[in-house]
Amino acid sequence: MGEPASDGRVAVVTGGASGIGRATCIRLTADGYRVVAIDVGDAGADQAELALRADVGDPDDVEGAFGEVLGRLGRIDLLVNNAGITGSQQATLCHTTPVEEWDRIHTVNVRGPFLCTRAALPAMLRQGSGHVITIASIAGLVAFPQRCAYTASKGAAVMFTKSIAADYAAHGIRANAVCPGFVQSPMTQWRLDIPELRASVEARIPMGRVARTDEIAQAVAMLACDSLTYLTGHALVVDGGWTAV
């Protein structure tokens, strides 16, 4: 369980308009954070104190958004790199994946966390504290068949997390990742709406169901709590037992 952020700490959540990002904004708000939702579309003002539009893959957008966060709220205590995409149906086997599709996935899933973390770190360094939590995937730990670009991007997200943890621990900054299995969200709904695909997915999960977005948000809140201050460089698997068998 998370703990109240009674000192007015600020959390920035990318991809905050829907799915895991929206659930995370709601949970962190309940935990007492002043939450900023950043999204490329409707930024989700209903679940955050501040909602900003920005493309996480665009350096100018990111610098502008984080500059506005600091200008309005003065600090960044928690960054949740949640924005991500799985890619189109063209992004399958390596030899059939278009270069453009590979680049699109890595722009959001790898370049995005890099740019946002890069923008947040100077404030965290000034504060002498901070936490970067990146939503990766179990695909960053075990390969998803026929999802070469996505799997590679999430593997990069896990190692990016470890790199930040190693480089900034001495400055009071932690970095951890959450690695969900299959989650019911707008990004996955089209697959779950097909009965045979849903049955195939659920058959691989020992718990027999996909995760809810609030269950992933709870994992973020747990990592962010003050009771786990020695935990950094960790990839927390939340997959209903998928990778245990």
Read off the pLDDT of residues 203-243 as tens digits, 9 standing for 90 and up.
999 999 999 999 999 999 999 999 999 999 999 999 999 99
Q: State how far the Cα of 216 lies from the Cα of 212, in Å rounded to an integer.
A: 7
CA distance 9 to 32: 8
What pLDDT score does 157 carry?
A: 98
The Cα 38–Cα 200 span in angstroms is 34
Q: Is 3 domain-assigned? A: no
CA–CA gap between residue 110 and residue 104 (Å, rounded) = 10
What's the pLDDT tens digit per position in 113-135?
A: 999 999 999 999 999 999 999 99
First-to-last C-alpha distance (Å) of the chain? 27
1 occurs within a structural domain: no
Number of independent structural domains in the chain = 1
Residue 5 is assigned to a structural domain of this protein: no
Q: Is position 174 within any domain?
A: yes
Q: Is residue 116 part of a domain?
A: yes
| Confidence band for 3, pLDDT divided at 50, 70 and 90 | low
| Domain of residue 211, residue span | 10-238
CB proximity list for 89: less than 8 A, separation 6 or greater = none
Q: Which of 33, 150, 168, 230 is catalytic?
A: 150
Structure tokens at 223: 């990592």
Q: What is the dihedral of CA 137, 143, 144, 147, to 10 degrees?
A: 100
CATH number of the domain at 135, please: 3.40.50.720
Under the banding of pLDDT at 50, 70 and 90, the label for residue 6 is very low
Q: What is the pTM of this model?
A: 0.94
In the residue annotation, 150 being an active-site residue is answered as: yes
